[in-house]
Amino acid sequence: MATGQLFSKTTQALFYNYKQLPIQRMLDFDFLCGRETPSVAGIINPGSEGFQKLFFGQEEIAIPVHSDVAAACAAHPTADVFINFASYRSAAASSMSALKQPTIKVVAIIAEGVPELDTKQLIAYAKANNKVVIGPATVGGIQAGAFKIGDTAGTIDNIIQCKLYRPGSVGFVSKSGGMSNELYNSIARVTDGIYEGIAIGGDVFPGSTLSDHVLRFNNIPQVKMIVVLGELGGRDEYSLVEALKQGKISKPVVAWVSGTCATLFKSEVQFGHAGAKSGGEMESAQAKNEALREAGAIVPTSYEAFEGAIKEAFAKLVEAGKTTPVKEITPPQIPEDLSSAIKSGKVRAPTHIISTISDDRGEEPTYAGVPMSSIVEQGLGVGDVISLLWFKRSLPRYCTRFIEICIMLCADHGPCVSGAHNTIVTARAGKDLVSSLVSGLLTIGPRFGGAIDDAARYFKDAYDKGLTPYEFVESMKKKGIRVPGIGHRIKRGDNRDKRVELLQEFSRSNFPSVKYMEYAVEVETYTLSKANNLVLNVDGAIGSLFLDLLAGSGMFTKQEIDEIVGIGYLNGLFVLARSIGLIGHTFDQKRLKQPLYRHPWEDVLYTK
């Protein structure tokens, strides 16, 4: 491995398996370091393509999303780092795919628990092809002031405290990602900070070793001293011992192997990492520390003395004139996200939508404040849900039952009415369900199913003014307006609409008052004296009875009733109900595999 620097201020990466937070942290670090271009060139999300919006400083940018590794590498040939956030189940396959791409030089595998055989295959391929694997089970790595992998070094506050926004003089390598954060802080307190830091990962077989990176650091001129944090278990540290003995490392190495407390336990102890388990005396922390000390590394007597040893080694370099501490700079301020600023009370922002009928922010959605589970547990029906979402209150059972009856009675009226006909023609043209449904719904209006609101409005106005049926009908005639809710193409005075009769029967048995409906019946009596087809139709029945429901329930003010009628609530009932039938007609035509509809010539009057 050896060679030198892995990253620079122009390094770009491909990020596998989209995770918003670590990518945004990388971009915030870029801005903090004064990078001109984002370090994340592209995102790979298997099966997805498009863009993800993120922030680069104050600017919102769109990062391309690719569906596979090869496509991403082809689109971003300058991106040579592959950051793999896949789970342990797929991390090996996706990492191997990346290693086989000629543009990728470094692969960082974040997942823990990658099968050891798969890891060995990755290591062998990387060594044979002069590539670098960091991990598995790693947080990644960082080059101060230039580039960082994923969540390395944690939050922006921690990065600033550790002075990682500009390069220092110390090369650091550790097995532990968590302890890396601790050491970045310690090193920043007693030196001019990190130049590059790597966490090789805590699995038994890391893709690269402690000595691999120490030898690399030795070849980087800006690195003046090296800090190593090992741990009990395995024999990785002994390769570093051999390198020191052979004189391959010319820079001061301050090292500590954690886990010395393991000797206090009577049985073998497994620490946090898979590889942190002493398999014998040579793998103990004490043996490794002693071997490193004998090989020439600076090894303190305890972890508590580690920071002091680092401080002393750096001070000697400065005193000898071998390094000059980096001058401190003031990093730019990272813009705070609006959501966090609002949460902390620093800013206020207007909302763009107001909703009073439902809320999905808690453990479960609520309809007008009623939890969904409560609706199910109480055995409530569709009418109850409509009462909550449309009227924002729980109406009495007779009211919700009436709503359900209206929906059932208006669900369909055969294939010949205009709405059903349009839906059938559209379905037979091969269109999808939504298109077929909408084509039928768009015919609903004053001539087809859309007269419920108008019927309610005119009947209410006439009744409230005390007009007799004669005065009401004749006044409408003078205005040139047909009475909404009166008249039918098929039904007659001697062949009433069964739906109207069912609604009247239910309301007379259950409603406290049916004054508006009785008024509509009186109007019907007068209109039938003029023509036998001027019967009260289903629109008129629903419109007048809904007025009785609203007024008789005692739960609505006069102003609320006027608003409900004016907004179009009642036509909403017909739209909801008829959607059931229109969907049925769509499925029926699809099921029957009916061909494209063409209207017959003989049914058209061709004229000049």
Residues with a catalytic annotation lie at 273
Tell me the residue type at 527: T
Q: Strands, DSSP E only, in 102-203?
A: 106-109, 132-134, 140-143, 147-148, 170-174, 194-199
- CB-CB contact of 331 with 160 (8 Å): yes
Give the separation between CA 535 and CA 518, rounded to whole angstroms: 14
Closest CA to 326 of 217, 219, 193: 193
Strands 140-143 and 194-199, by their bridges, are antiparallel
- Give CA separation, 64 vs 73, 80, 302, in Å: 12, 16, 48
User: 109 - beta bridge partners?
Assistant: 84
Give the separation between CA 78 and CA 28, rounded to whole angstroms: 21
Mark 580-608 as b/e (b = at least 16 C-beta within 10 Å).
Answer: ebbbebbeebeeeeeeeeeeeeeeeeeee
How many other CB atoms are found less than 10 A from the CB of residue 250? Answer: 8
Rg of the chain over CA atoms, in angstroms? 38
Structure tokens at 458: 């005119």
* Full DSSP string of 417-485: SHHHHHHHHHHHTT--HHHHHHHHHTT-BTTBB--HHHHHHHHHHHHHHT--HHHHHHHHHHHT---TT
- 3-class SS of residue 606: coil
Helix 469-479 vs helix 452-465: crossing angle, to nearest 10 = 120
- CB-CB contact of 355 with 348 (8 Å): no
Structure tokens at 322: 């071998």
Give the separation between CA 203 and CA 277, rounded to whole angstroms: 11
- Tally of residues, the chain: 608
Matching residue, tokens 């409230």: 464
Q: Is the peptide bond before 350 cis (omega within 30 degrees of 0)?
A: no
Tell me the residue type at 603: D
Closest CA to 387 of 374, 410, 364, 404: 404
- Give CA separation, 306 vs 190, 257, 309, 311, in Å: 11, 10, 5, 9
Matching residue, tokens 């409530």: 380
Give the separation between CA 248 and CA 218, rounded to whole angstroms: 8
Give the separation between CA 264 and CA 149, rounded to whole angstroms: 37
Structure tokens at 599: 């209207």
Phi, psi of 128 (to 5 degrees): -70, -25
Give the separation between CA 416 and CA 490, rounded to whole angstroms: 12
What's the maximum distance between 2 C-alpha atoms anywhere in the chain?
118
